[in-house]
Amino acid sequence: MTASDPKGRQAALQAELERRNPGEPEFHQAAREVLESLAPVFGARPDYAEPGLVERLLEPERQILFRVPWQDDRGAVHVNRGFRVEFNSALGPYKGGLRFHPSVNLGVVKFLGFEQIFKNALTGLAIGGGKGGSDFDPRGRSDAEVMRFCQSFMTELHRHIGEYTDVPAGDIGVGGREIGYLFGQYRRITNRWEAGVLTGKGTAWGGSAGRPEATGYGSVLFAAEMLKERGEDLAGLTAVVSGSGNVAIHTVEKLIALGAHPVTCSDSQGVIVDEKGVDVGLLRQIKEVERGRLDEYARRRGGSARHLPGGTVWDVPADLAFPSATQNELDAAHARTLVAGGVRAVSEGANMPCTPEAVRIFQEAGVAFGPGKAANAGGVAVSALEMRQNAARESWPQERVEDELALIMAGIHRTCRETAERYGSPGDYVAGANIAGFERVADAMLAQGVI
């Protein structure tokens, strides 16, 4: 199959990927989205089609699986699985978060790592793509139990990472507490203060100001760029946000700062709808300090907020939507409801939170749609800035980091827009993100030979 038949090549690549990676639907979905975008690229650039380049891109450079034994506070022994998929290092050391959640398996980690390749390329920074995690669930566990798990996890992981090799960060279930325990164990084992080996660290010991805020802020900044392209802005617009973790909280915070009106958040037990607008301080207190549930938000907030057990934020009419929880949380039915409610822009704060059918509905309705590869790249961008500060033994002020983040997100938007236009799909940020990320990685892979 050659560049003369790009659609046939795409179908053949997809079929072979699914044969070689059975039972991994999230990875299949992520690969299909990219491959569908690349058909015009194969036609225009036959050098991308010939040397097995895409086949190499679809196969991780390294997949690491290991057991993680640990003891709970009663002395009982548990065994979880640990994963690290080092997917592509053509542009720099592998970079991507660690996710601790019961849903984590090899297919989920591969999908996340594959997405990370293109997301990281779009930032324009020297970072490759990888991802990792465990099926460990930190919810309901004591600090001592989480510490023991993290120490066991890092006892194996430490041999595979390093500031010039692979630099993990946080993700779902891995925040500042977990990063601290992981870094402490790495330092204990290696006898090195290698600050650049993990990002998302505390600002008192090598972390970057602005890193906790970066993914949520970046998602809002990307939405603002999409609206600006249409002659609009965020001020006065109503927004629905899913999730109530780090990304969702800072999405709400940035929306408020830019004059928008976020009215929802959610967790696994239900949805909050707050007509006065989400109180970000109360939300942060309950979710980050007390590690509580959202029904407590409704009790403390008063009459403006209601808790809907088992509900969905996508039933609330809004101008803007920010899916910021997890993959495939927003399906075709939700998309139709949002379109009927007048949504103007959707910006993915999570990784692949919209199903392919939902994305198609938004695009056909003329909704500005920011895919996660572009819209949520702010987190990894500031992680790379943290690496830069660590390498220089510097600590930047919050204002500098936020200025850098705004420039990076505007640059990602511009790259996606210009690339989509260059390939005959103006306004299609999905195609623009996939193609632009692919071109940068592919050019580096071609320059470095068949490895």
CA-to-CA distance for 435 and 432, rounded, in angstroms? 5
The answer to whether residues 222 and 350 belong to one domain is yes
The answer to whether residues 255 and 360 belong to one domain is yes
Q: Which of 164, 193, 222 is the last residue of a domain?
A: 193
Handedness of CA 154, 160, 163, 167 (dihedral sign): negative
Indicate the SS3 state at residue 307: strand
Q: What is the dihedral of CA 251, 311, 26, 66, to 10 degrees?
A: 80
- Confidence at residue 4, expressed as pLDDT on a 0 to 100 scale: 63
The answer to whether residues 259 and 161 belong to one domain is no
Q: Output the pTM of the full model.
A: 0.94
Each residue's pLDDT tens digit, 394-430: 999 999 999 999 999 999 999 999 999 999 999 999 9
Domain extent, residue 126, equals 62-193
Q: How far is CA 159 from the centre of its chain?
A: 25
pLDDT of 8 over the 60 cut: yes
Residue 76, in any domain of the structure: yes
CA-to-CA distance for 254 and 278, rounded, in angstroms? 12
- Confidence at residue 137, expressed as pLDDT on a 0 to 100 scale: 97
Q: Which of 317, 348, 370 is the last residue of a domain?
A: 370
CA-to-CA distance for 121 and 136, rounded, in angstroms? 30
Residue 444, in any domain of the structure: no
pLDDT of 2 over the 70 cut: no
The answer to whether residues 177 and 222 belong to one domain is no
The CATH number of whichever domain residue 267 belongs to comes to 3.40.50.720
CA-to-CA distance for 242 and 248, rounded, in angstroms? 7
Each residue's pLDDT tens digit, 362-375: 999 999 999 999 99
Pairing, β 264-267 against β 62-71: unpaired
Residue 134, in any domain of the structure: yes
Residue 256, in any domain of the structure: yes
The answer to whether residues 85 and 158 belong to one domain is yes
pLDDT band at 1 (very low <50, low <70, confident <90, very high): very low
Q: Which residue, among 302, 171, 329, 301, has the nearest Cα to 241 in the 3D structure? A: 329
Residue 385, in any domain of the structure: no
The answer to whether residues 76 and 137 belong to one domain is yes
Annotated binding residues for substrate, as ranges?
A: 95, 116, 119, 170, 383
The answer to whether residues 241 and 157 belong to one domain is no
The answer to whether residues 222 and 172 belong to one domain is no
- Average the pLDDT over each of 123-127, 247-251, 286-290, 372-376 and give the range with the smallest value: 286-290
Give 234's DSSP letter: S
Whether the Cβ atoms of residue 221 and residue 189 lie closer than 8 Å to each other = no
Annotated binding residues for NAD(+), as ranges?
A: 215, 246
Give Cβ neighbours of residue 322 (< 8 Å, ≥ 6 apart): 219, 220, 223, 239, 240, 241, 242, 248, 251, 255, 262, 346, 347, 348, 349
Measured at the CA of 277, the angle between CA 251 and CA 239, to 5 degrees, comes to 50
The answer to whether residues 133 and 269 belong to one domain is no
pLDDT band at 291 (very low <50, low <70, confident <90, very high): confident
CA-to-CA distance for 294 and 344, rounded, in angstroms? 27
Give Cβ neighbours of residue 210 (< 8 Å, ≥ 6 apart): 217, 382, 398, 401, 402, 405
Each residue's pLDDT tens digit, 31-43: 999 999 998 998 8
Residue 31, in any domain of the structure: no
Q: Which of 336, 370, 404 is the last residue of a domain?
A: 370
Q: If you search the block for the tokens 């019961």, which residue do you land on?
A: 102
The CATH number of whichever domain residue 178 belongs to comes to 3.40.50.10860
62-71: strand order across its sheet:
62-71, 77-88, 129-134, 94-100, 166-170
Q: Which residue, among 139, 352, 345, has the nearest Cα to 222 in the 3D structure? A: 345
Indicate the SS3 state at residue 322: strand
One-letter amino acid for residue 222 of the chain? F
Q: Which residue, among 297, 238, 244, has the nearest Cα to 268 in the 3D structure? A: 244
Among all residues, which ones are annotated catalytic?
131
CA atoms within 13 A on the CB side of 266: 24
pLDDT of 208 over the 90 cut: yes
Annotated binding residues, as ranges?
A: 95, 116, 119, 170, 215, 246, 383
Element (H, E) at 179: helix 176-190
Q: Which residue, among 403, 89, 441, has the nearest Cα to 221 in the 3D structure? A: 403
Over residues 80-94, mean pLDDT: 98
The answer to whether residues 301 and 240 belong to one domain is yes
C-alpha distances out from residue 430 to 65, 363, 391, 418, Å? 31, 10, 33, 12
Identify the bridge partners of residue 167 per DSSP, sorted by sequence position.
95
pLDDT of 49 over the 90 cut: no
Express as a percent the part of the chain with pLDDT over 70.
99
The answer to whether residues 156 and 263 belong to one domain is no
Residue 48, in any domain of the structure: no
Residue 423, in any domain of the structure: no
The count of domains in the chain is: 2
270-274: strand order across its sheet:
264-267, 270-274, 305-309
One-letter amino acid for residue 148 of the chain? R
Measured at the CA of 218, the angle between CA 278 and CA 244, to 5 degrees, comes to 35
- Confidence at residue 3, expressed as pLDDT on a 0 to 100 scale: 53
CA-to-CA distance for 417 and 436, rounded, in angstroms? 10
The answer to whether residues 228 and 88 belong to one domain is no
Mean pLDDT across the chain: 96
Over residues 242-269, mean pLDDT: 96
pLDDT of 9 over the 90 cut: no
pLDDT of 124 over the 80 cut: yes
Whether the Cβ atoms of residue 295 and residue 270 lie closer than 8 Å to each other = yes
